[in-house]
Amino acid sequence: MSQKFSLREAERKAFTISFDDGLWDIFLGCFFLEFVIAPFLSERLGDFWSSVIFLPFWGLVYLAIWLIRKYVVKPRIGLVKYGPARTAKLKKFTLLILLINIVVFILGVIALFRFGVFSTQIYPIILGLTLLVGFCVAAYFLDFPRLYIYGLLLACSPLVGEWLYTYRNASHHGWPITFGITCSIMILTGLIIFIRFLRNNPIPMMETSVEGR
């Protein structure tokens, strides 16, 4: 056996194999599509409604992914209940993400009261840093290295967008271009991984993996 095999590696493999099917990439890509489409909608609907309109869209995407996971992925990959170490790690992750959101919210409120409105320089930096930190935390706790790349791409999107807006006269602060490219990369990566997953994992004939009803 040439590969190093340790308990930690076994645990990591048992965890990642259960969700590395590309569906998270697709979901995250669809989630950030808001930044691509909402700027166009905001001209007609205003900032608030152009964002709210995405809630049912996210709900539909989440429902579709949940159904695909239940009826397409699970029968192919099987079921697992994680051990106490992973469960504790996931709890820590949830708390940390919650904490990041609270800190960002507080910072946002402070910035709003101090500057009145978000300046075009501050807003892309706060957004970029938040996305980077959030995705790095998720990548670390979920053993999901692709999230580092997605975090970096998403963090660069508002900054590059602002640059395009200032120096190349791009519309809507350049967000449709930069976030559009990032979301396309995420969704395409997810689709490729999902298709490869389906090809490599046919449904076993001898057993089922559907939980008791």
Partner 1 sequence: MVDPISEPGLHPLANIDQVIHAPARLMVLTYLYVVESADYIFLMKLTGLTWGNLSTHLTKLEEAGYVELLKEFQGKKPHTIIRLTEQGRVAFRIYRKSMAQVLDDLPD
**Spatial separation of the C-alpha atoms in residues 90 and 7, rounded to whole Å:** 18
**Closer to partner 1 at the Cβ: 94 or 209?**
209
Closest separation in Å from C-beta 35 to partner 1: 36
Integer CA distances (angstroms), 58 to 27, 47, 186, in order: 8, 17, 16
Nearer to partner 1, 169 or 200 (CB): 200
Please identify, using beta-carbon distances, which residue of 52 and 88 lies nearer to partner 1. 88
Give min distance, CB of 23 to partner 1, in A.
17
Look up residue 174 and give its amino acid: G
Q: What span, in angstroms and rounded, lies between the C-alpha atoms of 78 and 207?
A: 10
Question: Minimum CB separation from partner 1 for residue 205, in Å?
Answer: 8
180: nearest Cα among 53, 47, 44, 34: 34
Nearer to partner 1, 72 or 104 (CB): 72
Q: 77 or 129, CB closer to partner 1?
A: 77
Smallest gap from residue 130 Cβ to partner 1 (A):
33
Residues 6+ apart with CB under 8 A from 210: 74, 75
Which residues contribute to the site for partner 1 (CB under 8 A)? 1, 5, 7, 10-11, 13-14, 17-18, 75-86, 201, 204, 206-213
Q: What span, in angstroms and rounded, lies between the C-alpha atoms of 12 and 8?
A: 6
Token pair of 39 as six digits: 């700027």
Quote the least distance from Cβ 20 to partner 1, whole Å.
11
Q: 194 in helix, strand or coil?
A: helix
3-state secondary structure of 108: helix
